Amino acid sequence: MLDCVPDKPVAHTAGKINPIKACQPLGAMYAALGIHGCLPHSHGSQGCCAYHRMALTRHFRDPAMASSSSFTEGASVFGGGSNLKTAIKNIFQIYNPDIIAVHTTCLSETIGDDIPTIIKQSEIPEGKYVIHCNTPSYKGSHITGFSNMCKGMVSYLAGSDGSEKKRRVNIFPGFINPGDMREIKRIVSELGVSYIMYPDTTGVMDSPILPKYEMFPKGGAKIEDIIDSGNSQATLALGSWASDEPAALLQEKCKVKGIPLKLPIGVKATDDMIMAIKNEFGVEVPESLDIERGQVLDTLIDTHFHYQGKTVALFGDPDHVIAMTEFLITMGMVPKYVLTGTPGSKFEKIINGMLEDAGIEGSKVRAEGDLFDLQQWIKEESVDLLIGNSHGKYIARAEDLPFVRFGFPIMDRAVHPLMPVTGYRGCLRLIEMISDALLDRRDRDCLDEDYELVL
Amino acid sequence: MTVTESEIEDVMATYPPKVLKNRKKHLVLKTDDCAASCPQIEANTRTVPGIISQRGCCYAGCKGVVVGPIKDMVSITHGPIGCGYYSWGTRRNKARADDKTPPEQIYTAMCFSTDMQESDIVFGGEKKLARMIDEVVEAFHPRAINICSTCPIGLIGDDLNAVAKAAEEKYGITVIPYNCEGYKGVSQSSGHHIANNQIMDKIIGTGTDELKGKYILNILGEYNIGGDGWEIERILGDIGYTVNSILTGDSAYVNIKNLHKAHLNLVQCHRSINYIAEMMETKYGIPWMKCNFIGVEATIDSLRKLAESFGDEELMARTEVVIEREIARITPALDQYRKICKGKTAFAFVGGSRSHHYQYLLRDLGMEVVVAGYEFAHRDDYEGRQVIPTIKSDADSKNIPELHIEPDPEMYEEPYLHLNLSKEKYDQMVKEGHFGYYEGMYPVMKDGTVMVDDCNHYETEELLEMFHPDLIFSGVRDKYISHKMGVPSKQLHSYDYSGPYAGFNGALIFAKDVAHALTTPAWKMITPPWEKETEKKEGDNNA
Ligand code: SF4
Ligand code: SF4
């Protein structure tokens, strides 16, 4: 497995080998699915749309509906305006969504189609919406694409009526699973603050089987709520890459205070989110959350010897990796190699800062890296554990490492999208997954006489 | 169950007039009065913008389907990150080391992309591509390289040919460019054609290996998903054939070079590979025969037809021995599953030939396909190859270059000589459709069933409601939709990570998987008990 990868370091400066990022439209499509009654629309050739739907479907094991402008050579030469207008007309008549969320692709970006103008010239039925965002894939990654679609929601929909702000918080959750979104909503509810989360893929990408099929399932953020979000008191922007810009836009447009936070993965990041709400709304933290938090600390103390001091190679999307690095440090583990594929130099600064604060030396950190880099580092000096998305399984096998699946995409295991890694409950789950992986490895490798019942 | 024309019209009632006019021609109902020959179906034309189609793009057909699985070639996607990322490992084309290809020369688990950035789009990406090739050669020492271009590359006009040529000269290895930008043609199909052209032009015929064996075969259009190709090879090997190469499942550049040394080409997926079969016949005189190793009966038919091709009594006898042995081995277990599957109906919507092939396997189990469709087929895949001369080429298909092929002055040999047949015998067999012919899907369909080209989400939903099949065979994008509609599904692209489904062993695995899908206990539990109490309707689906 991966025997072709050289043992010695070689030059690797051009392109990506085994990337840790996908392209912008994928994220835009996922974000759009988090609006109730929304059909994401890919403006370009149909191949991209097919690929993005496939990638989302594989991770979530749920339908990811989306349409395409289906460019052929002609549209590529003469522009895709008529394709988009035809598409909008057909979509409303055939599928009858409440809203169409258009994103561009490399192709329509390279041609330079002017989407706002085309939308203005389109037939949009009364009471329906068409929004858009630009997602050229030669910039950013699926995470920035997600962010761009969130910005599109803010700029097209959110408004403020000028009256006093409502005692309510907006939550921009970042590119996370519906299970995580549910968990974050639960925590905010426990705090007794009302909220608007968007995008919100709960009920859409983890939809149940019910006696009757609906093409647009019950879940998702309601359009009227997104519109009203401009009247909320504050916005939690969870994850810098995915949520900072849309929150900043909402602050600029509607004067809603944006509060940038990490994704609430790990004890500290969850604490931060709770503190942010406490400070903003002056609420008391209920005992239920004290108990949840205390259970995590109890578990960390009871189990530290399963994992403390172990070295970890971690890769994935920047917001995920940053929060996870913090939690690994909390667990007493050593993040030795930390990579993301998404561009943004502040990634390295943030991670290096965390490592420095923790007194950890000799780690390697890279933004815009790939799994080829990671594998070469591991070949040079191995680690105890690998954490990342499904693509990591090849390295895990080739380099004989225990492996915890975390992030996006996870295509070879089920149930993940429904189970949170966020909040205190998420901490417990991460501790369980990490301990189990290490203990399973210990049980697998040990001598008969060391094979023990109590660990 | 069967349907009528007017019911089909109802399906399309929601369409705007233009869409209706377009889509109507893509749907054919099989009825008694058109049983002999297939009514014309529209295929390989543009997808209606806004329609939720299952189709992919030219790049997906070229890199994703045809050239990506060649295990000892590094395939570089030239473009932004996405296209390469999505075609990474997602087709389950199994590959393994063998005596010609050591493990360190297998790259199929890897993804290579030039990851074009904005400045590359503005100033051109040729330099970056050339640099990536340099680094890949240094790190991996591949025998040969594929470069597949994506949408923006065509627009900015990078000269792939020039980069490939320069790299070839620099390193003395084959570097093949594919101008397979996603917008070319109307579906994956154009990419298959482009890939076929380049493989024919740049690889086949360049090898000088002497192949041993009395009956040497290539299996074209088999992608070894779930190990299908290996099961076919097993059976053929037992009978006494030598499989020179599969194209392109578990295939290697070093073997494809020698493709022209075979006596006969078998064509499994007609749509994706018929170009190579035809071109090899023209250039080398190697005949081709359509086969289908999906289904017990279909496999037996193909094996017999294959043995006849060489007109060798001993080969025919040996074929019967293997068939008998295999049947005796699998029948008892298969019968168990048959009891579960018998009388059930299914839909089959998959890319190319599979929607046709699997109908035989389902019939083995006592099941019937009531609606079948292809995503990216041409008319001949439905109606049979006799319609090829009548297919008008439109602007989209004209964009795909045709290779001009002539008999090779040194290597051409008359087809009958390849097979060791007399000329008369061979000519007669050609007339009977034994060689160089494909009858299309239509003949296998029953009266009152439907063939639909490029079936979209809306039509799938309507047809599901109309037919209430027991099972749907589809791709991953449809899979979970059908689940929400209460219909179990199996993926026929990836087999839901099972397989092989080909040959005798495959039939058993497939039968088990289908039986499991039909009998998953959860299907009976969808209606909660508290709702059942009030309903208590007889014949309720979920009861
Ligand atoms: S990188 Fe561009 S062309 Fe490729 S899938 Fe993404 S949007 Fe489409
Ligand atoms: S249509 Fe173009 S951009 Fe999209 S996947 Fe295909 S090659 Fe890539």
Give the C-alpha separation, B368 to B345, whole Å: 5
Known active-site residue B260: no
User: What's the pLDDT score for residue B462?
Assistant: 93
Say yes or no for a CB contact (<8 Å) between B83 and A48. Answer: yes
Atom in ligand 1 nearest the alpha carbon of residue B182: 3
Interface test mutation site (partner A, options B18, B52, B487, max chain A beta carbons within 10 A)? B52
Helix (H) or strand (E) holding B521: none
Question: Which of A68, A65, A63 has the alpha carbon at shortest distance from A83?
Answer: A68
Buried b (16+ CB within 10 A) or exposed e, B89-116: bbbbbbbeeeeebeeebbbbbbbbbbbb
Q: Which of residues 259-318 of B touch A (CB under 8 A)?
A: none
Catalytic residue among B43, B58, B60, B455: B60
pLDDT in tens, A389-420: 999 999 999 999 999 999 999 999 999 999 99
A123 touches chain B (CB under 8 A): no
B138 touches chain A (CB under 8 A): yes
Query: Is the predicted pLDDT of residue A166 greater than 50, yes or no?
Result: yes
Region A136-152: what's the mean pLDDT?
97
Q: How far is A244 from chain B (nearest CA, A)?
A: 22
pLDDT in tens, B39-97: 899 999 999 999 999 999 999 999 999 999 999 999 999 999 999 999 999 999 999 99
Separation of A250 CA from ligand 2 center, angstroms? 33
Known active-site residue B477: no
**Token digits for B367?**
């099941």
Instruction: Please name the residue of chain B whose CA is at the shortest distance from the CA of residue A58.
Output: B476
Say yes or no for a CB contact (<8 Å) between A69 and B184. Answer: no
User: What's the pLDDT score for residue B35?
Assistant: 64
User: What's the pLDDT score for residue B22?
Assistant: 93
Ligand 2 contact via B57 beta carbon (within 6 Å): yes
According to the 3-state scheme, what is the secondary structure of chain A?
Answer: CCCCCCCCCCCCCCCEECECCCCHHHHHHHHHCCECCEEEEEECCHHHHHHHHHHHHHHHCCCCCCEECCCCHHHHHHCCHHHHHHHHHHHHHHCCCCEEEEEECHHHHHHCCCHHHHHHCCCCCCCCEEEEECCCCCCCCHHHHHHHHHHHHHHHCCCCCCCCCEEEEEEECCCCCHHHHHHHHHHHHHCCCEEEECCCCCCCCCCCCCCCCCCCCCCCECHHHHHHHHHEEEEEEECHHHHHHHHHHHHHHHCCEEEEECCCCCHHHHHHHHHHHHHHHCCCCCHHHHHHHHHHHHHHHHHHHHHCCCEEEEEECHHHHHHHHHHHHHCCCEEEEEEECCCCCHHHHHHHHHHHHCCCCCCEEECCCEHHHHHHHHHHCCCCEEEECHHHHHHHHHCCCCEEECCCCCCCCCCHHHCCCCHHHHHHHHHHHHHHHHHHHHHHHCCHHHCCCCC
Predicted model pTM: 0.96
Give the C-alpha separation, A402 to A396, whole Å: 6
User: What's the pLDDT score for residue B543?
Assistant: 38
Q: Which of residues 312-371 of A touch B (CB under 8 A)?
A: 341
Ranges of chain B whose pLDDT falls below 50? 538-540, 542-543
Query: Is the predicted pLDDT of residue A251 greater than 90, yes or no?
Result: yes
Q: How far is B434 from chain A (nearest CA, A)?
A: 36
C-beta separation of A39 from A95 below 8 A: yes
How far, CA to CA in Å, does B36 sit from each of A10, A36, A365, B345, B447?
64, 49, 68, 24, 11
pLDDT > 70 in chain A, percent: 100
C-beta separation of B58 from B180 below 8 A: yes
Using CB distances shorter than 6 Å, the residues near ligand 1 are A 23, 25, 48, 51, 105-106, 137; B 79-83, 150-151
**Token digits for B156?**
């900015």
pLDDT in tens, A340-362: 999 998 999 999 999 999 999 99
Measure CB to CB from residue B50 to each of A50, A67, A394 and give the nearest one.
A67
Region A146-167: what's the mean pLDDT?
96
Q: What is the mean pLDDT of chain A?
A: 96
Say yes or no for a CB contact (<8 Å) between A391 and B88. Answer: yes
User: What's the pLDDT score for residue B34?
Assistant: 65
C-beta separation of B289 from B430 below 8 A: no
Q: Which of A26, A30, A46, A48 to mutate to test the pocket of ligand 1 (most atoms within 8 A of CB)?
A: A48
State the greatest distance between any 2 C-alpha atoms of chain B, in Å, as a whole number: 81
Say yes or no for a CB contact (<8 Å) between B57 and A46. Answer: yes
Known active-site residue B62: no
Say yes or no for a CB contact (<8 Å) between B53 and A69. Answer: no
**Backbone phi, then psi, for B93, in 5-degree steps?**
-80, 100
Write the single-letter amino acid at A257. K
Give the C-alpha separation, B516 to B226, whole Å: 18
Q: What is the length of chain A?
A: 455
Give the C-alpha separation, B430 to B427, whole Å: 5
Instruction: Please name the residue of chain A whose CA is at the shortest distance from the CA of residue B58.
Output: A47
How far, CA to CA in Å, does A448 sit from each of A84, A124, A238, A327, A451?
66, 71, 47, 34, 5
Known active-site residue B57: yes
Separation of B59 CA from ligand 1 center, angstroms? 11
User: What's the pLDDT score for residue B1?
Assistant: 56
Instruction: Please name the residue of chain B whose CA is at the shortest distance from the CA of residue A16.
Output: B113
Separation of B56 CA from ligand 2 center, angstroms? 8
Instruction: Please name the residue of chain A whose CA is at the shortest distance from the CA of residue B133.
Output: A14
